[in-house]
Amino acid sequence: MYFYESFSEEFDSKMNMYDTNKRLSVFYDELLTEDLKGKKILDAGCGTGWFSKGASDRGADVTSMDLGEGLLKQVEKKCKSTRVVGSILEMPFEDNSFDVVVSSEVIEHIPEPLKAIDEIYRVLKPGGIVILSTPNRLWFFTVWLANKLKLRPYQGLENWISWNQLKRKTRETGFEIDQMVGIHILPFVHPIIYPVLNFFHKFNKALGPLMINMAIKAKKV
């Protein structure tokens, strides 16, 4: 769980910004279209702060939470937010604290990914919104193969869930699902295939269950 904290200062230089910007666009341009001014937003598993910055730029009152101070120091460089050390499995907040929770590519790196949805529900206010993305288990074989071939030096937890697991758990927890979409039709995000990825992104609702990553928007009822 602490893998990314171990190289927090180099994290931004190692990430693929095409992928990050695509997810930011899905979160803030396609799904979270509501007025965010003054809304209390939690970025649960904030990493180095790109999604905190996205909410802050929209005028939200942002709380950025992750497992270590190193990552939170990187958040401080990007935006103004309240920075809190904590785990998405047991968040240090009262019930009904936030209007919106965003969490991108986080729950697959914890021992019990579905438990995180319970915690998100707990800290959201009634009527609050969650926007969450995570890899689709359908494509787990690609990272397994990349790790076996030593093409991907990742040493953290990888507990991927399926499209149907995410949908079912979200509903069982008490959320009302507004939208589910996919991100990336091919498993390797490389400049040579950006045009293909961009073309198929137009069909990310219909093709969502077959895509590499999945994103959900749901409301606490």
Q: What is the pLDDT of residues 158-190, one digit of tens each?
A: 899 999 999 999 999 999 999 999 999 998 889
pLDDT at residue 67 is higher than 70: yes
Contact 121, 62 (CB under 8 A): no
How would you label 59-80 residue by residue, b for 16+ Cβ within 10 Å and e otherwise? ebbbbbbbbeebbbebbeebbe
The percentage of residues in the chain with a pLDDT greater than 70, rounded to a whole number, is: 95
Size of the chain in residues: 221
Structure-token match 């919104």, residue found: 129
User: Could you tell me if 20 and 49 are in contact, meaning their C-beta atoms sit under 8 angstroms apart?
Assistant: no
Domains of the chain, by residue range, sit at: 4-220
Class of domain 4-220: alpha beta
44, 102 in Cβ contact below 8 A?
yes
- Is 157:137 a contact under the CB 8 Å cutoff? no
| Helices within the chain (DSSP H only) | 11-14, 17-25, 50-57, 69-78, 113-123, 140-148, 163-173, 194-201
pLDDT tens-digit series, residues 92-142 = 999 999 999 999 999 999 999 999 999 999 999 999 999 999 999 999 988
